[in-house]
Amino acid sequence: MSARRIGSALLSAWRLNSAPSLASCTSRLEVPALLRGAALWRPYSSETGGKKSEASAASAEPAGTSDKADAGATDDGAADGPEPGPSAHELIAQLKVKEEHATKLTTQVETLTDSLKRTLADMENLRMRTAREVDVSKKFAIQGFVKALLDVPDNLERAAGVVPPEALQEEGGVTPEKMRNLLSGLLEGVRATESILMKVLKQNGVERYDPAGQPFDPNLHNALFDVPDPSKDNNIIAMVTKKGYKLNDRVIRPAEVGVVRNVSP
C-alpha cells in the first residue's frame, strides 16, 4: 500500500469525524504537509512505495526553495546593478571648472613669459653696459698714473728754459761764470725732475734697483759683457749700464750689467 493511498484513507476518515470544520481545515492544509504526514506510514509501505514518497517530497519541497532562490537572485541582481552616471548638469559644471582652471594656467603662463622676456632684456642691457664700462676702463685705466707724470714734462721744460739762446752762440756768448750758473740750474732742474718721476713710479708700485757690487743673479740681472778685475771676486757685478725696475716685487726689466770674470793664467 503506497503512502499516497494511506494519506487518502486518513483524510477520508478525518472528514467523517469532523465534517463541520472541513472547509476551514482544508484551506489551511498544504499538500507538502500532507505528504510529510504520510511519510509517517513509511514502515507499513513497501520499499518501492517509500522511495516514490521521498522523491515526491523532494520534488515538492524545492519548489518553494527555488522560488526563494530566484527571488534572492533577482534582489542581488538589482542590488549589484551598475550605478547611474553623473547627470548632464554635473558634467557641464565640471567642464566649467576645468575651463576656469585652464584660463588661470594660461594667464600664469603669459605672466611668466612676459617676466622672462623682461629679465632677458635686462640681462642683455647689463651685458652691453658692462662691456662698455670694461672698454672705458681699459682706455682710461692709467689716467691717474698719467696725471701724476704730468709734472715731469713741466720740470723738464723749466730746466730747458734755464739756458738762454745767446749761451749757445759761438760769438758773443756768456762768460764762464754765467755758464757755470746756467749749468748748475740745469742740473738742479734735471735732478728735481728725476726725483718727481721716481716718486710717481713708487706710488704706482714701481721700484728701481741698482745691483752694483752685488753677486750676479740671472733672475734680476742681464749680463752683457765680462769685466776682468783681479781685485774683485768672480760673478760680482762690476758695472751697471741700466738699472732694473720691479712692479709690485716682480721684475719688469732686469738690470743690464757687466760681470767680473777673472781668467786664471
DSSP structure class, residue 105? H
Count up the domains in the chain and report the number: 3
Strands 221-227 and 255-260, how do they pair?
A: parallel
Tell which of 12, 35, 68 closes a domain.
Answer: 68
53 C-beta neighbours (distance < 10 Å), count: 22
Do 238 and 184 sit in the same domain of this protein?
Answer: no
Q: Tell me what pLDDT residue 53 has.
A: 44
Identify the band that residue 2 occupies on the pLDDT scale cut at 50, 70 and 90: low
Do 199 and 236 sit in the same domain of this protein?
Answer: no
Whether 138 is in a domain gets the answer no
Cα-based distances in Å from 6 to 12, 17, 23, 212 = 10, 17, 21, 159
State pLDDT tens for residues 168-180.
Answer: 776 656 677 888 8
Whether 124 is in a domain gets the answer no
Q: In which residue are the cell numbers 733672475 written?
A: 219
pTM of the entire structure? 0.48
Q: Tell me what pLDDT residue 40 has.
A: 47
pLDDT > 50? residue 43: no
Strand locations in 64-134 (E): none
Do 225 and 259 sit in the same domain of this protein?
Answer: yes
Tell which of 68, 84, 114 closes a domain.
Answer: 68
**Apex CA 194: angle with CA 204 and CA 245, to 5°?**
50
Whether 99 is in a domain gets the answer no
Whether 129 is in a domain gets the answer no
φ/ψ of residue 254, rounded to 5:
-70, 155
Identify the band that residue 63 occupies on the pLDDT scale cut at 50, 70 and 90: very low
Domain interval for residue 263 = 205-265
Distance (Å, rounded) from C-alpha 20 to C-alpha 5? 24
Identify the band that residue 162 occupies on the pLDDT scale cut at 50, 70 and 90: confident
